[in-house]
Chain A
Amino acid sequence: MKRILSALALAGVVVSSIAPAVLANFAVPHKWVDAGKTYVYVPGQTPAVAVTGFTAPRAPTTRLLTLNNCGWGSFTKSATSPPTLITGANWAGKTTGAAVTCVKDAAPALTYTSNNAGAVGSVVDDGARIWIKGGTTIGSATIGITTAGTITTAANACGFVRVTASVSRPMTAFQIGATNYTLAAIPTVTAPMICRKVGTTSQTYVPAP
């Protein structure tokens, strides 16, 4: 009996004193680490709708560009996750403009002329494609591409999104609208929030403190 009363008393104390701080973590973006994997939870969203402005830079990927006769190569610019940095080219000097062309000069010439006389390393964004001048003639060039990494996952029925951190999307830093977060700084929980159907509605459940 004493044991039961002690347990109940202890539960009461825990609920009244520790609970608010611990539970508050579930109301903001937080992380849960399990079996070597890190999960980021973003609560407070509209069910079945993607989080507006949710981006997490992807780890740079290496890409081998094929260069045309003028030394230009290109790749499609993602509408949702455009590049935020390209290494191996002059990303800082990127310009916007028309698609780069490369036309063979009139015979008997064997040369080619481009509408863009940029130096090797030049980057041109024509809106749909990113053009890189990787050389002076046909060949290939290796570049590293970092993208904005827009996360388009819709929130679940309880209004929260879970994103798994991975090598390609480490979630080290991410942004929701105008607010920046870092994985290191968001609170950690020891057990995850879950979504469960109760009757006809979905209910968020959190670990009892």
Chain B
Amino acid sequence: MKKHSIALALVSAIVSTGAIVSSTLANFAVPHKLVSRSNNEVYVYIPGQLSRSAVLGFVAGDKAITSKANACGFLRIAVKINRPMTSFSIGATNYTLATLPAVFSPMICRKVGTTSQTYIPAP
């Protein structure tokens, strides 16, 4: 319940700052956030990584994030109470959740033939 409330609070905070913009192609090529319509959870997506490798120098708060990118080369991090992702850095670049571009539908990874392919919502 508490988790759900915090997620909702995050949602309204993001909405109230006006950070939610239309899902453009460019947004999917950079770190961005998604507010899930199915469960109101917030996710941060980090694209452009080496598939099945951890993101170098990925730190949120004072904790290193060691999760590996998927076969398509992107990483999805769920925003949680103990990992609010309010601000994070990748190498020397700093990001804040509030200023990340927002998308309405997530990018997905799907196998096509023998290769993994990133899919994005049709514009």
Is A205's CB under 8 angstroms from B30's CB?
Answer: no
Is B56's CB under 8 angstroms from A11's CB?
Answer: no
Is A204's CB under 8 angstroms from B122's CB?
Answer: yes
Excluding A4-B91, A199-B36, 18 further A-B contacts by CB distance (< 8 Å) are A1-B57, A1-B90, A1-B92, A4-B49, A5-B91, A8-B48, A14-B29, A23-B25, A23-B122, A191-B112, A191-B117, A194-B110, A198-B105, A198-B121, A204-B122, A205-B120, A206-B119, A207-B120
Is A15's CB under 8 angstroms from B25's CB?
Answer: yes
**C-alpha gap A191/B107 in the complex (Å):** 15
**C-alpha gap A34/B48 in the complex (Å):** 26
Chain B, interface residues (CB within 8 Å), range: 35 or more
Closest A-B pairs by Cβ, 6 of them? A199-B37, A1-B91, A11-B29, A7-B48, A205-B119, A208-B118
List 16 A-B pairs, Cβ < 8 Å. A4-B49, A4-B56, A5-B93, A7-B73, A8-B30, A10-B48, A19-B25, A191-B117, A192-B112, A198-B38, A199-B37, A203-B122, A205-B108, A205-B120, A207-B112, A208-B28
**Which residues of A lie under 8 Å from residue B119 when comparing CB positions?**
194, 196, 205-208
B65 to chain A, nearest CB (A): 14
**Which residues of A lie under 8 Å from residue B1 when comparing CB positions?**
none
Is B113's CB under 8 angstroms from A35's CB?
Answer: yes
**Which residues of A lie under 8 Å from residue B55 when comparing CB positions?**
4
CB of A193 within 8 A of chain B?
yes
Is B48's CB under 8 angstroms from A205's CB?
Answer: no
Residue of chain B at shortest CB distance from A208: B118
**C-alpha gap A117/B12 in the complex (Å):** 83
CB of B106 within 8 A of chain A?
yes
Chain B 34-72 per-residue mask, 1 if CB under 8 angstroms from chain A, else 0: 001110000000011110000111000000000000000
CB contact list, A121-153 vs B, under 8 A: none
Chain A 10-27 per-residue mask, 1 if CB under 8 angstroms from chain B, else 0: 111011100100010010
Is B122's CB under 8 angstroms from A205's CB?
Answer: yes
Residue of chain A at shortest CB distance from B29: A11
Is B113's CB under 8 angstroms from A34's CB?
Answer: yes
**C-alpha gap A125/B50 in the complex (Å):** 66
Residue total for A at the interface (Cβ-Cβ under 8 A): 32
Is B123's CB under 8 angstroms from A23's CB?
Answer: yes
**C-alpha gap A193/B93 in the complex (Å):** 34
Residue of chain A at shortest CB distance from B119: A205
CB of A179 within 8 A of chain B?
no
Residue of chain B at shortest CB distance from A34: B113
Given contacts A4-B49, A34-B113, whether A208 and B107 have CB atoms under 8 Å apart is: yes
Is B48's CB under 8 angstroms from A11's CB?
Answer: yes
Residue of chain B at shortest CB distance from A205: B119
Is B122's CB under 8 angstroms from A8's CB?
Answer: no
**Which residues of B lie under 8 Å from residue A8 when comparing CB positions?**
29-30, 47-48
Is A207's CB under 8 angstroms from B56's CB?
Answer: no
**Which residues of A lie under 8 Å from residue B92 when comparing CB positions?**
1
CB contact list, A8-53 vs B, under 8 A: 8, 10-12, 14-16, 19, 23, 26, 34-35
